[in-house]
Amino acid sequence: MSEQKFTKGQTWGALKKAWKAYKIAKVQNDRARMVEYAKRIQTLQKELGLEVAKFPDLGL
């Protein structure tokens, strides 16, 4: 099965949504979701060649 490719614009859009979801999870104090979105943010940032955000409070 081939790896699915996304455009740079789609990846940026996903990153923006992931940050929004992370912030919502943080307000709701939902640690599990915070970890989920933090990992997604880091993955997307790597794909875009950006500096990867650190989440020391989550051990990431």
pLDDT tens-digit profile of 4-44? Answer: 688 999 999 999 999 999 999 999 999 999 999 999 999 99
Identity (one letter) of the amino acid at 37?
Y
3 pLDDT higher than 80:
no
Q: What is the pLDDT of residue 4?
A: 62
1 pLDDT higher than 60:
no
Domain locations along the chain: 19-49
**CB atoms near residue 8 (< 10 Å):** 10
Among residues 46, 38, 48, 47, the alpha carbon closest in space to that of 18 is found at 38
CA angle 58, 40, 51 (to 5 degrees): 80
Q: What is the pLDDT of residue 54?
A: 97
